[in-house]
Amino acid sequence: MLASASPRRRELLASLGLTFTVEPADVDEAVLPGERPEHLVSRLATAKAEALADRHPEALVIAADTTVVVEGQVINKPTDAAENAAFLRLLSGRTHDVYTGHALRLGAASEGGVVRTRVRFRRLTDGEIDRYVRSGEGLDKAGGYAIQGLGAAHVAEVEGSYTNVVGLSLPAVVEAARRLGVELV
């Protein structure tokens, strides 16, 4: 069971040939004062997994949360086009970190962790930023871009798990499921 409304996470799990149910967990995703990004994504992924595990104790529940950090600033999903453009200007020509926390529950047993991937953007022109924002692709994504879509043209280098940037580190999730006794691949 996937505790996420993210189409990207759904696509990633489907790429493994898995059959699963999607049931988004409704949790407050507010950042707590002074909360570090790795704690934020771990806390939210755990809360999402727990919300569904209580209702479905027989199912393997997979939950995740992703955030982007550039120069110490956490940037989640932009609220509108202007904020999306501001995020892209901030990322342009810089390296940022993508943190994805994952939490798996099977009955009372749980596994989880946080994966960090470093992403370097090439320098973007104002025109490129404007065209990307107009595409609308970045509006529902942490950091305001999709590495698996048009945003791939902005990325000069990835250090770490590519699927983590998409929204779920498949290698980490497969290992966590294995520790719970479930073979996903």
Q: Catalytic amino acids?
A: 65
- Residue 84: count of CB within 10 angstroms of its CB: 25
Helix (H) or strand (E) holding 99: strand 95-106
Q: Exposure of 173 by Cβ count < 10 A (0-12 exposed, 13-18 middle, 19+ buried)? A: buried
Q: How far apart are CA 147 and CA 119, in angstroms?
A: 10
CA-wise closest residue to 62 among 97, 14, 29: 14
Q: How far apart are CA 10 and CA 30, in angstroms?
A: 23
Token digits for 175? 């290992």
Q: How far apart are CA 69 and CA 118, in angstroms?
A: 10
Strand partners, 70: 73
